[in-house]
Structure 1
């Protein structure tokens, strides 16, 4: 597929007019991809550290379960990159929820309020959550790979739900990584509360 076809697929056709100005190497996108790959490894390592039978542990009834934090961050990453890549625009959250870029979740678990997975063998539920998280990371990494550094600065003017108004493509990618860090850190606290040593941060964040 040529550059023009890729741009059209992503809803970025106007940028094809300046393709001669797009650098052939993209150090920013390359760095983003590297960081997201490392983030994927670390996030899955944190998930793996919790025993399957404690996957839905929560310190209080008001908090998301351990599993929900991972489903929530995966869904959010899928959402941010879906908005970035889709040629359609979404004026509000309800319209966005009808978009066809969302990957299938293990269950229609509430991703904002405490909820539980379907009753299955604990190891099955853990495998389903891990696959979903991995798939959403792969979706992000693949999407970033279709962009160029020049494209990252654009997109702020596109119509989006109010909580993402004005976000450039780079903003969406960075916000996704910040959001992932936020929920992964909470999951690490859950491990500590269960007396489990979390995976070391530095091991998974070297270049």
Structure 2
């Protein structure tokens, strides 16, 4: 009987705890991005300034360490335009992003720009709703103009950042630097 009462009490407490939570996808994404910001900036800080332009070979297909972080910043900016449903000229955006990514700037500037962009994206998620994330619109620059949801953009943002961060971790290891411990959330 004691066991049954304990199980019922635990079930009731668990249900009230879960029902009392007000988590949403947007809230969870803001929390996750805050953690991702800390981890991403910690990785970027680890590379010495004199190796910030390092890349493992001279291949034009490879980005430098700095270019990975500038690209993450640019992609977050692009995704934010989509999330806010703001109008922009795609060709100009791509040209400006390429110029920024290929221009050598200080480690401090790259990290500052990236930090500021994280703050903008986090603020968006803190001020949006799950309903807004379910809205769709056509991707006009794709040939078949498919409809995409803001939730899909949210998932792409995380996936893309992980992709480039992982490449930069390899660059750190190639330079004898042990990357900071992975931070989940």
Q: TM-score, normalized by length of structure 2?
A: 0.78
Q: SS at 1:152's partner residue? A: helix
1:27 Cα shift? 1.6
1:35 Cα shift? 0.6
Structure 2, unaligned stretches of length 5 or more?
Answer: 1-21
- Structure whose residues are more often helix by fraction: 2
Structure exhibiting the larger radius of gyration computed from Cα positions: 2
1:186 Cα shift? 0.2
In the alignment, which residue of structure 2 is the partner of 1:65? 64
- CA deviations on 1:144-174 (whole Å, 9 max, x unpaired) are 122101111112x344421884221111111
How many residue pairs get matched?
Answer: 161
Change (3 A) 1:190 1:141: same
In the alignment, which residue of structure 2 is the partner of 1:162? 142
C-alpha RMSD over aligned residues: 2.5
Aligned 8 A contact 2:139 2:148 in 1: no
Aligned 8 A contact 2:65 2:171 in 1: yes
* Distance in 2 between residues matched to 1:168 and 1:68, nearest whole Å: 28
Aligned ranges 1:29-108 → 2 under 5 Å: 29-62=26-59, 63-88=62-87, 93-94=90-91, 97=94, 108=99
* Distance in 1 between residues matched to 2:88 and 2:63, nearest whole Å: 30
> Would you identify which runs of 4 or more consecutive aligned residues in structure 1 move more than 4 Å?
95-98
Structure 1, unaligned stretches of length 5 or more?
Answer: 1-24, 119-124
